[in-house]
Amino acid sequence: SLNALDISEYTDIERLKKIGLKEFKISNIKLIKYPWDIIKENCNEIKREFSLYHSNEDNTTLDIDIIGDKKLVHIGKDVEAEKNIVFDVRKGPIYIGDNTDIRAFSRIAGPTYIGSKCLIKSGRIQECSIGNVCKIGGEIEESIFHGYANKQHYGFVGHSYLGEWVNLGAGTSNSDLKDTYGTIKYKIGRKTIDSGEQFFGCVVGDNAKSSIGTMIYTGKKIGFAAHIHGIISEDVPSFCMWAKSLGSIPSELFFDSSLKTYSRAAERRGIVLTKDYEELMEKIFEITKDERKASGVSTNKFSLG
């Protein structure tokens, strides 16, 4: 099975053949192997797809200051925009989905994609992809947010990849550049890989939450449904409460508690927990048990300090 392979061996063609996988040769594609590859290619994809979904016409009827060619801006239906908003399309296009609300004193630089039904609260957004029904504020740069993510308060997120239903408390920020200006290392399984990148932030799994004032070091992973507090200087496994920097022993986040948290968040967006999603969460909980054990996560109830 694929579980028998280390992630770094997924490109070992001969070994993949031995476990029964067929080989298909495809030309003219970009191989995405690591998380930073997605971040690096995001702007190119926005440029490519913009030309597919936007006619070469000026549809900017809103009172927005645009630096560059207005034809590189797409405004969806029923978009609301307050005054004192700047769009900079000198490096690439900006796509705004339907029913999105952009508040005053926001500056958005392309290439950037913002989905439908988003709320942009006085943000500084540069070269990002933001999924549907997200709330975004503060400063974000060269990052990808999947749908229903919430980062509406002050703080910085840069060169990072965040899953669905992630909620970042006020003041949460990540580092995407080492003090030494050296390349950033990233752990995958038992191996530490040099990304070769000077800028790389964090990778955050679906349903993860951060408390106010959380600080995340470069190249860190935050697992599915993890709750993080304080300074995050090492990878955090899925389904755990993590506050090492505050003197607490990492504790397992009980599955029922995690399910209730998701259900409450989903209900606020008019979404009902399905049996399929519950089973998916339960499966992830089971397959990440060893991950928590290896990280010294206790099964006792979490206590702060």
> Average pLDDT over the chain, rounded to whole?
92
User: 220 pLDDT exceeds 80?
Assistant: yes
Task: Tell me what pLDDT residue 6 has.
Answer: 52
Q: Report domain 35-249's class.
A: mainly beta
- Which residues face 169 on adjacent strands? none
Point out which residues pair with 144 in neighbouring strands: 129, 161
Asked if pLDDT for residue 140 goes beyond 90, the answer is yes
What average pLDDT score do residues 252-280 get?
95
What average pLDDT score do residues 229-249 get?
96
Q: Is the pLDDT of residue 4 over 50?
A: no
Q: Is this structure's pTM higher than 0.85?
A: yes
pLDDT at 225: 98
- Residue 146 in this model has a pLDDT that exceeds 70: yes
The residue extents of the domains of the chain are 35-249
Encoded tokens for 21: 């996988």
pLDDT of 5 above 50: no
Task: Say yes or no to pLDDT of 268 above 80.
Answer: yes
- In which band, very low, low, confident or very high, does the pLDDT at 8 lie, cut at 50, 70 and 90? low
- Give me the mean pLDDT over the 252-256 stretch: 95
Query: Helix/strand/coil (H, E, C) string of the chain?
Result: CHHHCCHHHCCCHHHHHHCCCCCCCCCCCCCCCCHHHHHHHHHHHHHHHHHHHCCCCCCCCCCCEEECCHHHEEECCCCEECCCCEEECCCCCEEECCCCEECCCCEEECCEEECCCCEEEEEEEECCEECCCCEEEEEEECCEECCCCEECCCCEEECCEECCCCEECCCCEECCECCCCCCCEEEECCEEEECCCCECCEEECCCCEECCCCEECCCEEECCCCEECCEECCCECCCEEECHHHCCCCEECCHHHHHHHHHHHHHHCCCCCCHHHHHHHHHHHHHCHHHHHHCCCECCCCCCC
pLDDT for position 305: 66
- To the nearest whole percent, how much of the chain has pLDDT over 70? 94
Burial 112-143 (b: 16+ CB within 10 A, else e): bbbbbbbbbbbbbbbbbbbbbbbbbbbbbbbb
2, pLDDT greater than 60: no
pLDDT in tens, 50-66: 988 876 766 677 889 99
